């Protein structure tokens, strides 16, 4: 199984994205080591991120998308750990580095914005003090410089710098998320990893934040890995999309292409799962059932049980990633030579 | 909301609403001493919910929609105003029999399926308990049969097996179905569903929405569906009420409101819904979605600070709901002046 992702077809398809890669994730697997056995939450995931690129990762709860982010940022804590693969960031493999070595990368070149800003920000210190701590930890000692940069990044995300003196509870949910993003911008990183930063927000605040992230990205040129369970959210913002299911990559391709013609039945299911506010009201079904238990994954395709297009072979054959017109898809319907759906 | 006197007298007749509110308000006092202020969570709300009707109550965080659910569930007492259920004012419900009766007629399903079910008991526990309490006439055997019936009705089959599960053995979607089964066991007339799908994955939300429609169609239950997701409101609801800062901004048949939104806030909400099938709408990027000020509000439209169309009167007079199209009301001075509203 472990060699399937790096087979010729997939490797060839990846190569086309290679020019100027900033982040290379190769055959990354993450295990949770539990009393009752090992759960492989992320299995053989490979993908690249180019400078300035916006990559969306979508999937249901428990598909491994957050675990994958934590693995990339080297933030996993026991019982989770990377069991195989590499994460190469600007030419350096981050897997196995010590905390001290990692701190030369974290915040400076790679920063992380978590799902819940209320929990990620320290509730008992002012925003400005938290900015100061991050800057001091990375060797910025001058008070003026800290004050200047803190005000600068807050302005960048559209918050009045007077809020450097505010505590997290004095800000609205949208402002807290903006403050988190401002903090991630302190050292103008090359890569910002975001884990559902808008999930606690209203639609209006959510759209505004997404537009802001995109504007900052265009202005400063950093790359983004953006995890969400809502495909419609990243439709207009991401360059490429990775759909995960049960710890594996189900489909990987350009956002435009995936929305135009999803290859994996799971991707089609996700796209048809949300109602629209325009057009006729049509009955939807969603995706019945729930993802498999990864402590005891099924043989064959992991989506087979819920798949509307399941075939007998799906239940027994381990499905590799196939390359179809530059996209990768893990589905026997796209086996080489079998053509399209 | 039309003719209140006759409505009370003809309560029980089919075209009278199942539940309605009359100038319902709930304020919260915050601070103390000289700092004392009043937060107007819900102000002078008149809503009605008919028989076999799904009414969606939509709005952003802090608009007062959950406060309304809690008022209707009698978790909060109104600061002023009254709630009428089948024509009877709730303030007249004093006996334990009345209270129990109302709770079984109008149960609530909560947002978080992970904390609303007791984790140390099998899921049958909650259903059995409410059956024992609300339908004491049933024998142990009948309770069992009834529990299986409601579990089957919400799509937890085989029911006998599902009843024996512990909450941790169920997915979020299944747990939320248990919540609906518990509500259904009381033979309710109206289910108050406070953001029942917002904690669930996109892929299984539809199943729950379909379940609500099915309960309406097959069991004749009305649902107050509280949500911030307009698209899901459109999918399942008959009527839509849009709230802003404790007031109703607009209400009407869901298709009519979405096709012809009259209130600038409704237009803003609609413009912000991510629609993968359409191009990105960035005309309203200057609006950051900041919550409204509802602490000691002054007269005037509460949306005026964010409204690009605000005129003088919006700063001085609170707009009232006025019918602008058949059963379609909006509280907007500009729309009521006859001008075309195209804010976002």
A333 vs B: CB within 8 A: no
Given a cut of 70, whether residue B287 has pLDDT beyond it is no
Confidence of residue A199 (pLDDT cuts 50, 70, 90): confident
Identify which of A131, A139, A126 has the alpha carbon closest to the alpha carbon of residue A171: A126
Q: What is the pLDDT of residues B48-57, one digit of tens each?
A: 999 999 999 9
CB within 8 Å of chain B, chain A residues 204-223: 204-208, 211
Note whether B201 contacts A229, CB cutoff 8 Å. Answer: yes
Which of chain B's residues have a Cβ under 8 Å away from the Cβ of A285? 206-207, 210
**Which pLDDT score is estimated for B305?**
87
Which of chain A's residues have a Cβ under 8 Å away from the Cβ of B173? 290
CB within 8 Å of chain A, chain B residues 149-178: 171-174
Q: What is the pLDDT of residues B330-340, one digit of tens each?
A: 999 999 998 88
Nearest to A235 among B174, B230, B276 (CB): B276
Identify which of B6, B45, B5 has the alpha carbon closest to the alpha carbon of residue B24: B45
Given a cut of 60, whether residue A7 has pLDDT beyond it is no
CB contact at 8 A, A22 and A191 = yes
Given a cut of 70, whether residue A6 has pLDDT beyond it is no
Helices (DSSP H) in A185-292: which residue ranges? Answer: 203-220, 231-234, 255-260, 265-271
Nearest to B234 among A232, A270, A275 (CB): A275
**How much of chain B exceeds pLDDT 70, in percent?**
91
Polymer length in residues for chain B: 344
Which of chain A's residues have a Cβ under 8 Å away from the Cβ of B61? 173, 202
β pairing state of A37-49 and A23-34: antiparallel
Distance from CA of A274 to the nearest CA of B (A): 7
Which stretch of DSSP H or E encloses residue A154? helix A143-156
Confidence of residue B286 (pLDDT cuts 50, 70, 90): low
Note whether B275 contacts A208, CB cutoff 8 Å. Answer: no
Note whether A202 contacts B277, CB cutoff 8 Å. Answer: no
Q: Out of A268-272, B260-264, B269-273, give the one with best mean pLDDT.
A: B260-264
Task: Check residues A111 and A11 and name the one with the higher pLDDT.
Answer: A111
Which of chain A's residues have a Cβ under 8 Å away from the Cβ of B258? 277
Q: Mean pLDDT score of chain B, rounded to an integer?
A: 88
Taking residues B322-328, what's their average pLDDT? 94
Distance from CA of B283 to the nearest CA of A (A): 11
**Which pLDDT score is estimated for B253?**
96
Task: Compute the Cα dihedral for B269, B274, B278, B281 and give only its sign.
Answer: positive
Taking residues B184-201, what's their average pLDDT? 90
Confidence of residue B225 (pLDDT cuts 50, 70, 90): very high
Note whether A202 contacts B60, CB cutoff 8 Å. Answer: yes
**Which pLDDT score is estimated for B120?**
92
Q: What is the pLDDT of residues A12-50, one digit of tens each?
A: 333 333 456 899 999 999 999 888 888 999 999 999 999
**How much of chain B exceeds pLDDT 90, in percent?**
64
Q: Mean pLDDT score of chain A, rounded to an integer?
A: 85
Given a cut of 80, whether residue A339 has pLDDT beyond it is no
Identify which of B145, B155, B158, B215 has the alpha carbon closest to the alpha carbon of residue B184: B215
């Amino acid at each position: 199984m472990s060699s399937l992702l790096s087979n010729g077809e997939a490797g060839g398809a990846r190569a086309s994205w290679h020019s100027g890669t900033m982040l290379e994730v190769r055959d990354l697997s993450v295990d949770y080591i539990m009393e009752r056995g090992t759960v492989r939450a992320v299995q053989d995931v490979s993908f690249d991120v180019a400078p300035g690129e916006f990559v969306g990762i979508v999937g249901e709860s428990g598909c491994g998308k957050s675990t994958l982010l934590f693995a990339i940022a080297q933030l996993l804590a026991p019982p989770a750990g990377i069991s195989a693969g590499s994460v190469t960031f600007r030419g350096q493999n981050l897997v196995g580095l010590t905390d001290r070595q990692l701190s030369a990368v974290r915040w400076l070149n790679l920063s992380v914005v978590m799902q819940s800003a209320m929990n990620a920000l320290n509730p008992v210190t002012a925003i400005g003090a938290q900015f100061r701590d991050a800057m001091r930890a990375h060797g910025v000692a001058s008070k003026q410089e800290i004050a200047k940069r803190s005000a600068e990044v807050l302005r960048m995300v559209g918050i009045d710098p007077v809020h450097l003196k505010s505590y997290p509870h004095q800000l609205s949910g949208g402002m807290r998320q903006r403050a988190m993003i401002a903090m991630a911008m302190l050292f103008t990183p090359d890569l910002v990893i975001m884990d559902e930063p808008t999930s606690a927000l209203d639609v209006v605040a959510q759209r505004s934040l997404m537009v802001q992230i995109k504007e900052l990205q265009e202005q400063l040129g950093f790359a983004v890995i953006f995890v969400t369970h809502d495909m419609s959210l990243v439709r207009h913002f991401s360059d490429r999309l990775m759909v995960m299911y049960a710890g594996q990559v189900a489909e990987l391709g350009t956002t435009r292409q995936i929305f135009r013609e999803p290859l994996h039945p799971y991707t089609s299911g996700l796209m048809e799962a949300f109602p629209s506010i325009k057009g006729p009201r049509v009955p939807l079904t969603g995706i019945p059932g729930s993802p498999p238990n990864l402590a005891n994954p099924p043989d064959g395709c992991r989506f087979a049980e819920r798949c509307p297009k399941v075939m007998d072979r799906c239940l027994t054959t381990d499905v590799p990633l196939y390359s179809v017109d530059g996209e990768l898809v893990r589905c026997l319907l796209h086996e080489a030579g079998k053509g399209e759906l | 909301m039309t003719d209140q006197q006759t409505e009370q007298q003809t309560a029980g007749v089919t075209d009278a609403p199942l539940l309605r509110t009359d100038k319902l308000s709930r304020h919260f006092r915050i601070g103390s001493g000289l700092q004392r202020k009043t937060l107007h969570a819900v102000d002078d709300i008149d809503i009605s919910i008919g028989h076999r009707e799904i009414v969606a109550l939509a709005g952003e965080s802090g608009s007062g929609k959950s406060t309304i659910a809690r008022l209707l569930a009698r978790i909060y007492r109104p600061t002023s105003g009254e709630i009428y259920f089948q024509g009877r004012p709730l303030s007249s419900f004093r006996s334990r029999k009345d209270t129990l009766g109302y709770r079984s007629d109008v149960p609530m399903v909560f947002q978080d399926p992970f904390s609303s079910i007791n984790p140390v008991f099998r899921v049958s526990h909650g259903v059995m308990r409410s059956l024992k309490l609300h339908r004491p006439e049933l024998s142990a055997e009948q309770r069992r049969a009834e529990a299986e019936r409601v579990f089957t009705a919400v799509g937890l089959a085989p029911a006998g097996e599902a009843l024996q599960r512990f909450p941790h053995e169920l997915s979020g979607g299944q747990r939320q179905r248990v919540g609906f089964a518990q509500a259904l066991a009381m033979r309710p007339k109206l289910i108050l569903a406070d953001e029942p799908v917002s904690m669930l994955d996109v892929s299984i939300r539809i199943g729950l929405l379909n379940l609500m429609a099915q309960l309406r169609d097959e069991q004749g239950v009305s649902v107050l569906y509280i949500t911030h997701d307009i698209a899901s409101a459109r999918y399942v609801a008959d009527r839509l009420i849009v709230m802003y800062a404790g007031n109703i901004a607009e209400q009407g048949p869901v298709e009519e409101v979405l096709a012809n939104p009259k209130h600038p806030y409704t237009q803003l909400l609609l413009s912000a819904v991510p629609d993968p099938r359409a191009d990105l709408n960035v005309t309203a990027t200057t609006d950051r979605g900041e919550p409204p000020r509802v602490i000691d509000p002054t007269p005037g439209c509460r949306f005026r600070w964010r409204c690009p169309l605000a005129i003088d009167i919006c700063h001085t007079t609170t707009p009232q709901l006025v019918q602008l199209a058949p059963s379609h009301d909006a509280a907007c001075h500009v729309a009521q002046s006859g001008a075309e509203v195209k804010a976002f």
